[in-house]
Every structure is written in structure tokens, then in C-alpha cells.
Amino acid sequence: MRIRGIALALLAVSIPAAASTVPLDEPIRPIEPAAVTNPALVELGKKLFFDPRLSKSGFISCNSCHNLSLGGSDNLKTSIGHNWQKGPINSPTVLNSSLNLAQFWDGRAADLQEQAGGPIANPGEMAFTHELAIHVLESIPQYVAEFRKVSGRDQIDIGQVTRAIAAFEETLVTPDSRFDHWLGGDSGALSAEELAGYGVFKEAGCVACHNGPGAGGTSFQRMGVKAPYVTSSPEQGRIEVTGDEFDRMRFKVPTLRNVELTYPYFHDGEAETLAEAVEVMGRLQLGREFTPAETKQVVAFLATLTGTQPSFVLPLLPPSSERTPPPQPFE
């Protein structure tokens, strides 16, 4: 299988027009389209993802900070939470997050379902509780009916809520980037500059961490390997989860998929442009000063990782009932 992959890759190089179903054997792997096995669960999860009634204020939804019009992030340095609280960390994109080895920058949630419960109950984010969120959902007849349909049960619990949100999020993959076309054997999919950028990206060692289908998300790494990362952010990374000094300033390597859409960069959002992020990464992680031409090439390559964005009809949310507790934005 491995040998056949390489053989077809060579074939694709020698016959540029022929697209192969076996991708080139590269450290970045193609993204597969989502396989939806439970469309009703996905539809329910989509509604919940957009529903601000999962927050105390009735104003903040998952989509507020993982905005699917904006590459699945909020494009803010750090996010805005309940009562306009300044969040501690840059909102990572929800796109392709199912490909991550764990969720949150410090990996404190094992998977998307575990993650989804976090912001709802975080006093600095949606500032609600799981109990109150369930209380709201149970007061909305259309939600009760939809949960019954997917779970077969009359009662809603937080596990059902986060399972539905996770099922929707699992559909938020972005296949068909130009880079994926190139991986698939279409050698004309990338320009000479983009290919040169990918060459620099591999040769410099970026792929040591930015690999796999997500071009990242496969490991935790120290921010500041060759030189310390200087920031005013107090975030210390994975040590908050493990208590292990080894994990100080170790963060989940972010995906580079759709990275041209998910500015600003790093866990503290301090890098405003891709060029700045590439330059800092080269210097701090690899001990390498990229030339301006190299940086330009790498940035050009990174833009080829933008895939087809999830496309769906804006969900219509079921109305509250007279039993629904009103939101409390100012309390």
C-alpha cells in the first residue's frame, strides 16, 4: 500500500494531468469529506451551535467565537465573553477540529463532545450552567421533540446536547483545498512560488509539528524552543492540565488548514499577519531566520491550505415558550 502510494505519486509527477485517488506520500495528508451517519443529530447540533440561549445572556452562541462566516474563529486576539469579559486566549478555529488529538490549546478536553460543555459553563464565556441550559432546552417544545427523535428519550441531558454539537462540528471539515488537489496528483494545482514555499516549509522542519490531515493538531509542543517566547499573556499551556513542569508553555500545535482566514495567530493572538507568524515560528521554534523571499513563499503555500468552507442554510431556531426562563444579560 505504501509502495503503491509512492508509485502512483511518481506517476502523477510524470503525467501531470492524471489525478490519482492515492495521494502523494507527503507529511500533510488530504482532508476527507465528512461522512454524515446521523443527519438528524447533525441538524440538531447545528441549531444548538447557533443558539444563544445556551448562554446566560441569550446573546452568545458557539458561533459567536467560532464564527462559520469567518473561518470558524472570531478573528479577535482573544475572545469576548459574558459581560464583555476579555478572554485569556485566542479562539481556535472549529474547522477540522475533529482532526485534533485533543481540544482546547492545552488539550484539557479529550474530544469535541467534552469540549462543547466547557464554554457553556465557563463564567468568562457563556456564563451559564449545564443545568440551566437543559432547563431552557426542555422548555422549548421543538427541541424536546428533536432530542426525542435522535435519542429516543423524553428527557434531555447535557451529554445529548454536547453529542449533538460535536456531531455537527465533525461535519466542519474543509476538503478540496488547492494543496489537496496537488496531493491528489494535480501537479498544476500549485504555482511555482507555492511549491517553493512548501519546499521551505518541509526543509526548515515546520512539518515536524504541522503534519497530518490538519497540518497540525497532532501533538503538543513548547512555544519557544530555540529562544523563549516573550508575551504579556499569562497562559502557561498544558502544565495547567498535567501539573508537569515539562508541559510549561507547551500548547497543542494549531491546524494550518484555512490559516489565511484564522488570523490573528498563536495562543495569545499576538501575530497579526501570516508573515509575522512564519517569521516568529522560524526563529523561535527552528532557530532559522527566513529570508523575506522564503517567508513570502511559505505564506503563499499556506494560503493553498484553504479548503471548501462548510456551506449550509442558516438554521432557524425554535421559539421559546412561556415556560422558558428569560435570558439574564445584565445580571
122 counts as binding a second copy under rule CB under 8 A: no
Instruction: Pick one of 34, 56, 67, 168: the residue that binds a second copy (CB under 8 A).
Output: 67
Q: Cell numbers of 209, please?
A: 509539528
Measured at the alpha carbon of residue 263, what is the angle toward residues 261 and 265, in degrees to the nearest 5?
Answer: 135
Catalytic hit among 32, 114, 125, 240? 125
Q: Would you say 68 or 300 has its CB closer to a second copy?
A: 68
Cα-Cα-Cα-Cα dihedral sign, residues 234, 237, 239, 241: positive
272 counts as binding a second copy under rule CB under 8 A: yes
Instruction: Pick one of 2, 3, 21, 330: the residue that binds a second copy (CB under 8 A).
Output: 330
Instruction: Pick one of 23, 30, 58, 119: the residue that binds a second copy (CB under 8 A).
Output: 58
Task: In whole angstroms, give the CA distance from residue 89 to residue 132.
Answer: 26
Task: In whole angstroms, give the CA distance from residue 167 to residue 41.
Answer: 7
Short-list 187, 191, 200, CA closest to 278: 200
Tell me whether residue 245 is one of the annotated catalytic residues.
no
Give the distance from CA 45 to its chain's centroid: 17
- Least Å distance, CB 331 to a second copy, is 11
Q: Would you say 129 or 328 has its CB closer to a second copy?
A: 328
| Residue found under cell 446536547 | 161
- Least Å distance, CB 221 to a second copy, is 26
Task: In whole angstroms, give the CA distance from residue 138 to residue 196.
Answer: 55
Q: Would you say 22 or 80 has its CB closer to a second copy?
A: 80
Q: Would you say 213 or 327 has its CB closer to a second copy?
A: 327
- Least Å distance, CB 114 to a second copy, is 26
Q: Cell numbers of 3, please?
A: 509502495
Cα-Cα-Cα-Cα dihedral sign, residues 163, 168, 172, 173: positive
Short-list 273, 173, 183, CA closest to 217: 173
The SS3 call for residue 89 is coil
Instruction: Pick one of 23, 71, 212, 217: the residue that binds a second copy (CB under 8 A).
Output: 71
Q: Would you say 23 or 327 has its CB closer to a second copy?
A: 327
Which residues have a catalytic role annotated? 125
Binding site for a second copy (CB under 8 A): 50-53, 57-59, 64, 67-71, 74-77, 80, 83-84, 86, 260-261, 263-264, 272-273, 275, 309, 311-317, 319-320, 322, 326-327, 329-330
